[in-house]
Amino acid sequence: MKQEFKIISSLIEENSKILDVGCGNGELMKYILENISNNIRGLEISKKNVQDCIEKGLTVIEGNAELDLGQFPDKSFNYVILSQTLQAFLNPEKVLYELLRVGRKAIVTIPNFGHWKIRIDLLFKGTMPVTENLPNEWYNTPNLHMCTIKDFVTFCSQRELKLTKSISLSGKKVSYIKKNNLSYKNLTSELGIFEIEK
């Protein structure tokens, strides 16, 4: 399983109620279902992925996070997970607030556009970066709102959203992001994993 998913799973308390927004083919949901909590469901936009989830015996609703989160009542989940999707929304701010409305806590992961490889691509090659986490070209990328870890931390603090956990992932290397190492982690992290409360 992806390192990212292992970290997300480690943040979740047993037997809590979970919504995985943009759950993909259900890999993370299946792991959580078998190991942490059987009260988990997904929201997924791709029909193919929805079928894959059903095949795995997971509860999944075909839908669009930007349109369909409204139907869930306030605080109806302990955790709402959003893995590497925030940057693809038309209005990420609105989605983030929706996550924090329906969930007591949100676990959000973002591909870090501040990673040194990306900076070098842009600086020396002068082309839009294409990496393992961001495999698309500028013309076909679904990512409308790329941000860096620093951007995201600033964004949350400006809105008084509490980052109760901030974790950096670089390759297999896991470390905490703190105030005093933010600039450094912003350079070395491929992925930022945040637990957020309102």
Q: Which of 127, 122, 185, 104 is nearest to 152 (CA)?
A: 185
- Measured from the CB atom, is 104 or 165 closer to another protein? 104
Sequence-ordered alpha helix ranges (H) in the chain: 3-11, 27-35, 47-55, 65-68, 92-102, 116-120, 149-158, 182-188
The SS3 call for residue 162 is strand
Nearest distance from residue 76's CB to another protein, in Å?
Answer: 6
- Measured from the CB atom, is 76 or 175 closer to another protein? 76
- Measured from the CB atom, is 44 or 195 closer to another protein? 44
Nearest distance from residue 155's CB to another protein, in Å?
Answer: 28
Place of tokens 């995985």: 20
- Measured from the CB atom, is 55 or 93 closer to another protein? 55
How far is residue 179 CA from its own chain's centroid? Answer: 21
Nearest distance from residue 56's CB to another protein, in Å?
Answer: 8
- Rounded Cα distance between 25 and 29, Å, is 9
- Measured from the CB atom, is 62 or 121 closer to another protein? 62
The SS3 call for residue 65 is helix
Residues that bind another protein in the complex, under the rule CB under 8 A: 41, 47, 50-51, 54-57, 59-63, 71-73, 76
Q: Are 44 and 81 in contact (CB under 8 A)?
A: no
Nearest distance from residue 103's CB to another protein, in Å?
Answer: 13
Query: Which residue type, as a one-letter code, is found at position 7?
Result: I
Nearest distance from residue 28's CB to another protein, in Å?
Answer: 17
